Amino acid sequence: MPNASPETAVPRFNSFAEFYPYYLSEHRDDSCRRLHYIGSSLVILIIAFALLNQAWWWLLAVPLAGYGFAWVGHFFFEHNKPATFTYPLYSLLGDWVMLRDALTGRIRF
């Protein structure tokens, strides 16, 4: 179970399994989630393009695509602070698990 310190009221998680429900609660807005899916899909396409064409400078666009779309979703639709700032590794994993869950029908696309 997550613990929160009284000063910050930011929950602390001991595992990704504890974190993921919190992550989903921070991604309730359909537009925000869809922008995450677009960003994650672009990351895959950019990496594939860079590898296939040996155009390594394209890899510089990976963080822009991945974070740019997600942050637009948070700031303009979800109206919250991206979990990336507090939980960078869990949030990165959360993006991919959320995309998988959407593609497999476990959560609404």
Angle at 34 between CA 41 and CA 2, to 5 degrees: 100
Residue 70 lies in a domain: yes
Residue 20 lies in a domain: no
For residue 33, how many other CB atoms are within 10 A of its CB? 22
Residue 101 lies in a domain: yes
Residue 3 lies in a domain: no
pLDDT for 99 equals 98
The pLDDT tens digits for 44-92 are 999 999 999 999 999 999 999 999 999 999 999 999 998 888 999 999 9
pLDDT-based confidence at residue 98 (cuts at 50, 70, 90):
very high
pLDDT for 5 equals 43
- Number of folded domains in the chain? 1
Residue 13 lies in a domain: no
pLDDT for 24 equals 97
- In this model, does residue 7 exceed pLDDT 50? no
What CA–CA distance (Å, rounded) separates 50 from 33?
26
Residue 68 lies in a domain: yes
Residue 37 lies in a domain: yes
Total count of residues recorded for the chain: 109
The pLDDT tens digits for 16-53 are 999 999 999 999 999 999 999 999 999 999 999 999 99
pLDDT for 83 equals 86
pLDDT for 3 equals 52
- In this model, does residue 1 exceed pLDDT 80? no
Residue 47 lies in a domain: yes
Roughly what angle, to the nearest 10 degrees, separates helices 16-25 and 88-103?
Answer: 70
Please provide the DSSP assignment of 23-39 as one string: HHHT--SHHHHHHHHHH
**Domain containing residue 105:** 30-109
